[in-house]
A = this chain, B = another copy of it.
């Protein structure tokens, strides 16, 4: 590339696309042209990026031609079809869908953790992990670098916006249906109030939690739970790491939380863990429960870092640690990580 590189944002009109345009407008500007691309349905719409109204164009070979980097924020099947087209035309693709995450020829990158993996991309495609993996991996990766991770048990508290605008609307509608009532103490009353307004979820989420996200995988696991295991192993370069995940949806709009039980290769203390986390890039340590300092989604939403609190050394295992982490699923969990990867690719080209 000569001059400043051209970026294509494919899926600019979606939930993750909207946050991506915000982030591009806030970050130091490394881009020449920024093209906004979506489906033919929304072509012609105008969106603002870097303060400039920009027309959205339909995804075609032509629309991608000459782009140095393309960030794909579209459904899996659209990525599967179009990312290789862009890559064949010489564009480096940063893909946010699940389509390429498990492909051994596609690096799965979290810049704070495994930036080096970016260098080898035989298919000209780089994948960004799922939002639940992204909400814990920066903190866990920093601890792994210091103490050597031996196993993980995680339980999630997942926000509805990872099911897109449809998920957010469903929760808002359900909350309106149950508000101002005395609901929640009798069998079936929440089900009756919510009726068929469950939206993309298999059960009501207002006044409820739902132990399911994703689609059915093998042996009773959900695709989300299997994804956390596969992605964590790949990012950390630990192909045999034991990982047990349970994914649960909660009535929160944006920001995933994860309860993490981690065992390490060596003894660990809360002090040493605090020391590592306090200086880890992309991590905010917020851990003093006696004064009410622990991360909650309401405080983390809209921010870039991974927040960590409730750090405790396991009482029965000097190599074990418990932590509670929160990360905005639309920012670090999706848009921000993709933009960071795209910026790293741009920097490498101009170096």
A positions within 8 Å CB-CB of B: 151, 153, 155, 157, 161, 168, 172, 175-176, 178-180, 182-188, 190-191, 202-204, 207-212, 216, 219-222, 229, 240-244, 246, 248, 250-254, 257, 259, 261, 270, 287, 289-290, 292, 294-303, 309-317, 320, 322, 324, 330
Q: Which of B216, B242, B252, B253 is A316 in contact with, Cβ under 8 Å?
A: B242
User: A245's closest neighbor in chain B, by CB?
Assistant: B322
Bound: A190/B294 CA distance, A:
16
Would you give the shortest CB distance from A277 to chain B, in whole angstroms? Answer: 13
Residues of B within 8 A of A314 (CB): 242, 244
The answer on a CB contact under 8 Å between B301 and A187 is yes
Measured in the bound complex, the distance between the Cα atoms of B261 and A322 in whole Å is: 14
* A301/B185 in contact, CB under 8 A: yes
Would you give 9 A-B contacts (Cβ < 8 Å), ordered by A? Answer: A153-B261, A184-B301, A186-B302, A203-B292, A204-B298, A207-B297, A209-B296, A220-B312, A229-B315
Are B259 and A155 interface neighbours, CB within 8 A?
A: yes
Q: How far is the CA of A184 from the CA of B161 in the complex (A)?
A: 10
Q: For the complex, what is the distance from the CA of A311 to the CA of B270, rounded to whole Å?
A: 32
Question: Which residues of chain B have C-beta atoms less than 8 A from A186's C-beta?
Answer: 301-302
Given A202-B292, A207-B298, A208-B297, 6 new contacts (CB under 8 A): A179-B179, A211-B296, A211-B310, A216-B289, A242-B314, A242-B317
User: Closest residue to A221 on the B side, CB-wise?
Assistant: B312
